[in-house]
Chains A and B, each alone.
Chain A
Amino acid sequence: MSEAVIRVAGLGKSYVTAAGLFPALKGVDLTIQRSEFVAIMGPSGSGKSTFMNLLGCLDTPSSGDYFLVERNVAHMPGDELAILRNRTIGFVFQGFNLLPRMTLEDNVALPLVYSGIGREARREKGRQMLARVGLDGYALSLPARISGGQQQRVAIARALINSPRLILADEPTGNLDSHTSEEIMALFEQLNAEGITIVLVTHEADIAAHARRQVRFLDGFIVSDTATPVSELQPC
């Protein structure tokens, strides 16, 4: 019944360093079904960033297989990966990563440039997406004019614009205060409720608690995979 958006088997990634081959990821198996909300946790150096880069098709694995919506993308050429990043995956970064000299509507609609959509149609869609994250009326503002929380909303609108199956968020609240973080997480929960699969990386337990499943990384392996909200284990 349920459909696997992400299925990785024996996924490994090694980097060539001055000291020799460094294995950042040592064979990971994980399946994420449609409409799941998964938090990836772990200390730095645990391999979670490497894992996220592989999930996001920004990098290719050294070993193992990665099925994104049932297609093996482990050995896909770069241009096809770019199309996946454009159509199937939406990215949200810690640093928002908006282009500073573009209006918000153009920022939001930027992925559509690479889908070959005309300029007016792009802007129209961009304004729709801004409205969806509660920022209607800001279409012609520049990123520097709005708050961090608002910038992250714009980044989420950008991630949503091509109606992706999967949203990957890398420390999306890392640069935000706790109140704003809660707002962003509420937005993610709402999107998840609409059926979008969300995978987010965080090292904050209370952020991870918003997800319905937590996966912990350590030294390139998954050490725990639990559906129990972490926050219930801790006093708030």
Chain B
Amino acid sequence: MLSAMLGEAWHAMGCNRMRTALTMLGMVIGVGSVVLMLAIGQGAQYAVAQTISTMGSNLYILISGSTSTSGVRTGSGFGPTLNVADAEAISELDDITHVAPVHQGTQQLVYGAKNWSTTIVGTTPSYLDARAWTLTSGYAFGESDVRSASRVALIGKTAAENLFDREDPIGKTIRIRQTPFVIIGTLAAKGQNLDGRDQDDTVIIPLTTAQRKVFGVPFAGSVRTIILQASSAEAMPAVEKSVTALLRRRHRLRDDMDNDFYIRNLAAAADSAAETTRVMSLLLGAIASVSLLVGGIGIMNIMLVSVTERTREIGIRMAIGARQKDILTQFLLEAIMISIAGCLIGLLLGIGGALLINAITDMVIVISGGAVIVAFAVAAGVGVFFGFYPARKAAALDPIEALRYQ
């Protein structure tokens, strides 16, 4: 019975191709835009999540306070308020997985006839763990290298490309401010951070070597920043409190004095970036949904016209034995078939559009199975919802009146 009804619905769709196509167009545009917008939104979310994951998770960054000399105040990070001993004390606290003091600056690298200016990061081995940074070749320096101020370096992908072209950097000696460093490892590529800065344009060396040979420090053992990683996102507020309390105690700050350091939550910036893209993709989805709704109303419109136009046909069908539910089924199936066919075409166009955008721009596009299924289910739902009223109207016709209808 249902297959016969499907055949009837198919036949009816074929009878007025232009009208069927125009009705479908509403669904095509609706579903197509939903799929495309979701793909763009999810792509943006994916890109942000990707960037955030390269920074490392649950990170805090401690920055030393500013100094004031003859009325000239430096920015934060220049005061000698944080030191390596602080970092060691922090690592004793609960819920902290990694702590790494960092001394960072820009220097010129020289290799043979080539040179390149890059960010030099002087730190300890935990830095790589905190930032979840792996090596593609070679090995990382250890605590003993930090203690003995070894002249070894890990090189980022961008810096390596600029200095070595296609040469293998491992074992090569570069010079930073006349000090030779042996490259013992190459860092895995991380791409841009949230600010758009290239994280791979860097060289990582032991903290002690950086302070003694590269940057020089006015006070032995002081560092500008300390990176610390909490064991979980839930533990972060507690960690922030305990670290602040510890440092205030260690720095002998009275209750009425301000902190002589800054503590910054990197996750907060990441969260706000993620939230922004989430809201953006919701907004895109909402706008696209409106066009899906309009498509549904288009179907209802055409189905109502169709019922009026085919009143006599409905009368004939009733006279030769169609029950009310047969007529209802027929018109409902017609609406559902139009919306599903429109949905399929819309899916293809949406996915095609997404792939096209992906091909001609560097925008990240993510087409998820979930989005496709949701769009499909919504389209079928729209067909039922907007098809039901006209179908019920058709089924409720009086056969005598319908037969007399001209």
The chain A residues found within 8 Å of chain B, CB to CB, are 53, 56, 58-59, 78-79, 82-83, 85-87, 91, 93, 97, 99, 101-102, 110-111, 113-119, 122, 158, 162
Alpha-carbon separation in the docked complex, A99 to B311 (Å) = 12
Report the 6 A-B pairs with minimum CB-CB distance, sorted nearest first: A86-B321, A82-B323, A114-B321, A111-B320, A101-B15, A113-B4
A111 contact set on B, CB distance < 8 A: 320-321
Known contacts A59-B400, A99-B313, A99-B316; decide if A115 and B7 are in contact (CB<8 Å).
no
A119 and B4 contact, CB distance less than 8 A: yes
B400 and A53 contact, CB distance less than 8 A: yes
Which of B4, B315, B326 neighbours the largest number of chain A CB atoms within 10 Å of its CB?
Answer: B4
A83 contact set on B, CB distance < 8 A: 321, 323
A58 and B399 contact, CB distance less than 8 A: yes
Q: List 9 A-B contacts (CB under 8 A).
A: A58-B400, A82-B318, A82-B323, A93-B319, A97-B316, A114-B317, A114-B326, A116-B1, A162-B321
B400 contact set on A, CB distance < 8 A: 53, 58-59
A114 and B323 contact, CB distance less than 8 A: yes
Determine if B312 is an interface residue (Cβ-Cβ < 8 Å). Answer: yes
Per a CB cutoff under 8 Å, which of A79, A116, A122, A158 touches B320? A158
Per a CB cutoff under 8 Å, which of B1, B321, B324 touches A85? B321
Determine if B11 is an interface residue (Cβ-Cβ < 8 Å). Answer: yes
Determine if B19 is an interface residue (Cβ-Cβ < 8 Å). Answer: no
Please report whether the interface of chain B is mostly helix, strand, loop or mixed according to DSSP.
helix
Alpha-carbon separation in the docked complex, A89 to B8 (Å) = 23
A119 and B320 contact, CB distance less than 8 A: no
A115 and B321 contact, CB distance less than 8 A: yes
Alpha-carbon separation in the docked complex, A106 to B372 (Å) = 38
Interface string of B303-336 (1 = CB under 8 A from A): 0000000001101111111111110000000000
Determine if B284 is an interface residue (Cβ-Cβ < 8 Å). Answer: no
Determine if B403 is an interface residue (Cβ-Cβ < 8 Å). Answer: yes
Alpha-carbon separation in the docked complex, A111 to B317 (Å) = 8
Range class of the B interface residue count? 20 to 34
Per a CB cutoff under 8 Å, which of B4, B7, B8, B312 touches A97? B312
B322 and A79 contact, CB distance less than 8 A: no
Known contacts A78-B324, A97-B403; decide if A85 and B11 are in contact (CB<8 Å).
no
B320 and A114 contact, CB distance less than 8 A: yes
Per a CB cutoff under 8 Å, which of B3, B312, B319, B323 touches A56? B319
Q: Give 12 A-B pairs besides A79-B323, A93-B403, A114-B326 with Cβ atoms closer than 8 angstroms.
A: A53-B400, A82-B318, A82-B323, A85-B318, A85-B320, A97-B315, A97-B316, A111-B320, A114-B317, A116-B4, A118-B4, A119-B4
Alpha-carbon separation in the docked complex, A97 to B320 (Å) = 11
Alpha-carbon separation in the docked complex, A118 to B5 (Å) = 11
B320 and A110 contact, CB distance less than 8 A: yes
A15, chain B: closest CB distance, angstroms:
11
Known contacts A93-B403, A114-B326; decide if A85 and B317 are in contact (CB<8 Å).
no
Work out how many contacts link A and B, with CB atoms closer than 8 A.
69
B403 contact set on A, CB distance < 8 A: 58, 93, 97
A198, chain B: closest CB distance, angstroms:
17
B56, chain A: closest CB distance, angstroms:
65
Within 8 A of A (CB), among B277-325: 312-313, 315-325
B319 contact set on A, CB distance < 8 A: 56, 58, 85, 91, 93, 97
B313, chain A: closest CB distance, angstroms:
6
A155, chain B: closest CB distance, angstroms:
10
Residue of A nearest to B399 (CB): A58
Residue of A nearest to B5 (CB): A113
Alpha-carbon separation in the docked complex, A91 to B15 (Å) = 25
Alpha-carbon separation in the docked complex, A122 to B8 (Å) = 13
A119 and B321 contact, CB distance less than 8 A: no
Alpha-carbon separation in the docked complex, A82 to B327 (Å) = 12
Which of A78, A82, A111, A122 neighbours the largest number of chain B CB atoms within 10 Å of its CB?
Answer: A82
B5 contact set on A, CB distance < 8 A: 113
B316 and A114 contact, CB distance less than 8 A: no
Alpha-carbon separation in the docked complex, A85 to B403 (Å) = 14
B3 contact set on A, CB distance < 8 A: 118-119
A99 contact set on B, CB distance < 8 A: 313, 316
B322 and A82 contact, CB distance less than 8 A: yes
A78 and B317 contact, CB distance less than 8 A: no
A58 contact set on B, CB distance < 8 A: 318-319, 399-400, 403
